[in-house]
A and B are shown apart, each in its own frame.
Chain A
Amino acid sequence: MEDISKAVERKDHRLKMSGRAEYTCDKRLEGMLYSAFVRSEIAHGRILDITLPDLPAGYVAVGGHDLYDNHLPVVTDEQPVFAVDEVCFVGEAILLLAGPDLATVRRLCRETKVTYEELPAVLTLDEATEMAAHYHYRKGDVEAAFAQAAQVVEETFTTGYQEQAYLEVQGMVAQWDAENGKMHVFGSLQAPYYVKNAVMRVLGLDDEHVRVVQQVTGGGFGGKEDYPSLIACQAAAAAKKAGAPVRVAYDRREDMTVTTKRHPSRLHYAAALDAQHRIIALKADICLDAGAYPGLSGVVLQRSVNVAAGVYKIEHLDVDGRAVITHTVPNGAFRGFGGPQSIFAMESLMNHLAAKVGMTPLAFRQMHVVQQGDDTVTGGKFHQYVPIPDLLAKVEEMSAYSRKYAAYSQPQTGRYRRGIGLSLFLHGCGFTGSAEKDILRARVILRKYADDTVEILASNVDIGQGLKTTFSKIVAAVLDLPLERIICPNPDTDRVPDSGPTVASRSLMIVGKLVERAARKLKAGWESGKEQEAVADYEAPELIPWDMDKFSGDAYPAYSWGVNVVELEEDRLTGMTKLLGVWGVFDVGKVIDNTVMLGQAEGGMLQGIGYGSMEKMEAAAGKIRQNSFTDYMIPTAMDTVPNQIAFIDNYYADGPFGAKGAGELTLLGGAPAYTAAVEQAAGKAYPNIPLTPERILAAEAK
């Protein structure tokens, strides 16, 4: 059989390149109404009065009182679909107005007067006291280890917001079928069944009477995991009240102001070193800014604490994590999901400790890296081979890291100074803990038609990451069919079983394995020319059971691994940098499609470098200041150089053809490798990202 990694033309290539792809905004239903929101203008306050202008015929306004249940289910249910008595962040939705003419709807929104009694607002993580989530775990005897340490080093790191910056803004169309009492929802989303469950609850409809269909989706990066549930409920409520289809379509400024982002964080680390420069104990105190409502913050925090020690084996550990409530836009899922904050802090700490003990960053890391069979931080095990030595050998060969590191360690004079930075990282694939087994219980169906084409029925979506292609390749490879015979349409919950959301680097590894197993079943009973079906349900691998209360056990079934190297030149006069080289070597088990995976790696690394360098987003008085692509900077192709990327095969038996999670891993190392390179060039330590030229020069001035 041909190597499955060999790239093919993507399943969605022609549809998208021809411009025929129908995104949510392209959807036109007869009699469809356009909509706009009345939103909170203050960070925190009580709503005293809402005065609507006279609505012309055909125009409706919906709010919390119109709903069967005004609680949005996203893990917890504190967030209202519409604010009713109290507003908790700037931009929180109070009402949705809908009608046939968008300009009129917008005018009516402007003419709606909301009177507030302003309440004190908590605007920063440092002021916050209310907790959305709290996790704590210990390993060994931390106090004793600190007591006998030869050296204790403490450092505080901070990270900022990051905006997903998907090209397609959030959007949803809802259509109420009054005759059958059924709600149809079409939208840009990552989790059809999350949206379905939310609409069912909020409108008080049962399983049979809500249908969710994914439209072609122009990027998600986690931003369309939880947020689409909210606008689906709002659009559906309006559609039901108006008796006409309603479209919610954000513009970019609205999207960037009110949708979820990566959690800003503060991470305090204390490391105890022995006389041989080995880290014997580590304390980490991690605090994430949840924003106004808990939502996914607890789950995000679980990942932050789970990777608090990075890829290193440390005997005594004390990790405490909190997500705190502030009166700012709620934060949520973003590629990496709590990992990038901790990986940045831990990798930076490793560099700073190495400098302190007079070792190179690489040699100091090599003293500490985990191996197969070692315990994880939560008392689980690294069951599979840990390929860190292979990754390091490969990246050394590609980048000449050590030679350049030595060269740039010599005194540098002149306007431009060079530096090179390295980061090592891991990503736990799939959901944290036992959610896959206890909550999701994914199912996949393959349906074979009389013409021997095979349709994949799963609720996972292609949001640009190539899932239609990789799923189809798996089926085609097992059944030995040409790729054209495999059909993988956008999920429609009336047709597909719940195979879970497209998040957590689980789609290919977990659901792809179900696709593979279903295909093998189909193959075993294959009868040409006959309609057949094969079903595969999730089966949990043998693991050390996860205990959420004790925060112990195998947090993940498998880990993906990576190393990044970034080389750059810093301009002493301006603090600006120019990338000279970007290298990445990854273990994602087995690559299912080379081109798809290269796209993930190049995009992920640049998104990680952007996170560490230029992607600055701040809130002033609770309002996001950088809410356009003019002011919120994501790197373009002009800001990078051709990336050098390699993959290491490390077959994983519970993934399809050996594949593991890959999408999130590639983002994790960009920020710490970038800042390490700047640190070497400038000869200073920078504990805060994004490390903008402003921050570089401010440190220079001190």
Chain B
Amino acid sequence: MVTTYRPASVLEALRLKQQAQAEALFVAGGTDIMPAGRTAPVLIYLQGIDELREVSKSEDVLRMGAGCTYTQLIGDKRIPEILRESMQEIASPAIRNVGTLAGNICNASPAGDTLPLLYVLDAILVIGHMDEQGKLRTRRLGIEAFIQGVRRIALRPSEMVLAIEIPCAAYEQMTKLQRFKAGARKAQAIAKLSFAGLCRVEGEVLQDVRIAFGAVGATVIRSWTIEAKMQGLTLTELAARRTAIVHEYGRILRPIDDQRSTAAYRRQVCLNLLEDFLRL
């Protein structure tokens, strides 16, 4: 027997979750759990919660509710164009109509389509729970801390993701934004690997640079250490060190051979895309 609920508010959803504890599953779009045949004694459907579908943008922060579907976000001009492009390449229209960005994060697949980009956008997860007085409490966690491993996330049983926040100021100043998903076909394909790179060049100097790779490790790979070394380089210096930097990234990628691709291909394409991105 499966009991299903369709709460109308975040607090109600959290209360239901708390009552049921670990046996309950939140369902946003359901596009990952359905094909996997996953279920639980209690299913809490989130589609009825309007506050989870809100998008807001201030000068500093873009906030996307956890219930926003890809289709909704693709159509919202406040969302960075590069993120909308990446969502446009996910699966098929039917999946995009119900699947959610927050779901893509919480599924924590190493091949999650939006993840490398969210890493370089410094995305933050807004997490909510209900305290003893029945009040909503929230905490914030960077995506790199939130995703802990393959299908492992830093979410306690009593918590839910309320929203994804992106600090706007930094990405709006980026001078080069690139992303690439290598899928075996142009729709309905799980990424063999993916790449995202953002940088800001000012006065021939690399002021900010962020690079992430998907599907070549248990989680998205982003190295703040290597990024720090690149920061402040002049373009001439960067060109001189490009091969060495690519080599350094090559050492931290952990691609595997599986039914979708080979480790050698994944590594080589990641590094080809990186090398291309670093031609500034």
Q: Determine the residue in chain A with the shortest Cβ distance to B182.
A: A574
- Asked if B265 contacts A694 (CB within 8 A), the reply is yes
Which of B180, B185, B190, B273 lies in contact with A635, CB distance below 8 A? B185
- B180: chain A residues at CB < 8 Å are 574
Q: How far is the CA of A7 from the CA of B262 in the complex (A)?
A: 46
Which of B190, B259, B260, B265 lies in contact with A697, CB distance below 8 A? B265
Any chain A CB within 8 A of the CB of B261?
Answer: yes
The A562-583 residues at the B interface (CB cut-off 8 A) are: 573-576
- A575: chain B residues at CB < 8 Å are 265, 269
- Asked if A638 contacts B260 (CB within 8 A), the reply is no
- Asked if A573 contacts B273 (CB within 8 A), the reply is yes
- Asked if B186 contacts A573 (CB within 8 A), the reply is no
The A687-702 residues at the B interface (CB cut-off 8 A) are: 692-694, 697-698, 701
- Asked if A633 contacts B189 (CB within 8 A), the reply is yes
Q: How far is the CA of A639 from the CA of B190 in the complex (A)?
A: 15
Any chain B CB within 8 A of the CB of A413?
Answer: no
Q: Interface-forming stretch among A206-214, A506-514, A623-631?
A: A623-631
- Asked if A633 contacts B262 (CB within 8 A), the reply is no
Any chain B CB within 8 A of the CB of A415?
Answer: yes
- Asked if B188 contacts A573 (CB within 8 A), the reply is no
- B269: chain A residues at CB < 8 Å are 573-575, 693, 697
- B182: chain A residues at CB < 8 Å are 574, 576, 693
Q: Determine the residue in chain B with the shortest Cβ distance to A415.
A: B276
- Asked if A636 contacts B185 (CB within 8 A), the reply is yes
- Smallest CB–CB gap between B155 and chain A, Å? 26
Any chain A CB within 8 A of the CB of B136?
Answer: no
- B186: chain A residues at CB < 8 Å are 636, 638-639
Any chain B CB within 8 A of the CB of A614?
Answer: yes
Which of B35, B188, B259, B265 lies in contact with A693, CB distance below 8 A? B265
- Asked if A698 contacts B272 (CB within 8 A), the reply is no
Any chain A CB within 8 A of the CB of B228?
Answer: no
Q: Determine the residue in chain B with the shortest Cβ distance to A578.
A: B186
Q: How far is the CA of A374 from the CA of B268 in the complex (A)?
A: 51
Q: How many residues of A contact B (CB 8 A)?
A: 24
Any chain A CB within 8 A of the CB of B169?
Answer: no
Any chain A CB within 8 A of the CB of B94?
Answer: no
- Asked if B265 contacts A614 (CB within 8 A), the reply is no
Which of B187, B190, B259, B273 lies in contact with A625, CB distance below 8 A? B259
- Smallest CB–CB gap between A571 and chain B, Å? 9
Q: Mark B169-213, 1 if CB is under 8 A from A, else 0.
A: 000000000001010111111100000000000000000000000
Q: Decide yes or no: A614 and B185 within 8 Å by CB, A626-B259, A631-B259, A697-B265 being known contacts.
A: yes
Any chain A CB within 8 A of the CB of B1?
Answer: no
The A590-633 residues at the B interface (CB cut-off 8 A) are: 614, 616, 618, 625-626, 629-631, 633
Q: How far is the CA of A671 from the CA of B35 in the complex (A)?
A: 32
Q: Determine the residue in chain A with the shortest Cβ distance to B35.
A: A630
Q: Which of B180, B189, B259 has the most CB of A within 10 A?
A: B259
- B240: chain A residues at CB < 8 Å are none
- Asked if A573 contacts B272 (CB within 8 A), the reply is yes
Q: Mark B239-266, 1 if CB is under 8 A from A, else 0.
A: 0000000000000000000011110110
- Asked if B272 contacts A614 (CB within 8 A), the reply is no
Q: How far is the CA of A574 from the CA of B266 in the complex (A)?
A: 9
Q: How far is the CA of A464 from the CA of B226 in the complex (A)?
A: 56
Which of A576, A629, A636 lies in contact with B187, CB distance below 8 A? A636
Q: Mark A79-123, 1 if CB is under 8 A from B, else 0.
A: 000000000000000000000000000000000000000000000
Q: Decide yes or no: A574 and B260 within 8 Å by CB, A614-B185, A697-B265 being known contacts.
A: no
Which of A576, A618, A633, A697 lies in contact with B268, CB distance below 8 A? A697
Q: How far is the CA of A693 from the CA of B186 in the complex (A)?
A: 13
Q: Decide yes or no: A701 and B189 within 8 Å by CB, A576-B182, A693-B182 being known contacts.
A: no
- Asked if B185 contacts A694 (CB within 8 A), the reply is no
Q: How far is the CA of A694 from the CA of B258 in the complex (A)?
A: 12
- B265: chain A residues at CB < 8 Å are 575, 693-694, 697-698
Q: Decide yes or no: A701 and B268 within 8 Å by CB, A574-B182, A638-B187, A639-B185 being known contacts.
A: yes
Q: List 12 A-B contacts (CB under 8 A).
A: A574-B269, A576-B182, A614-B184, A618-B259, A629-B188, A636-B186, A638-B185, A638-B187, A692-B184, A693-B182, A694-B262, A698-B264
Q: Knowing that A573-B273, A693-B265 touch, tell me 12 more A-B residue pairs with CB under 8 angstroms.
A: A573-B272, A574-B182, A574-B272, A616-B184, A618-B259, A631-B259, A639-B186, A692-B184, A693-B269, A697-B269, A698-B264, A701-B268
Residues of A within 8 A of B (CB): 415, 573-576, 614, 616, 618, 625-626, 629-631, 633, 635-636, 638-639, 692-694, 697-698, 701
Top 4 A-B residue pairs of the complex, sorted by shortest distance between their CB atoms: A638-B186, A573-B272, A638-B187, A625-B259
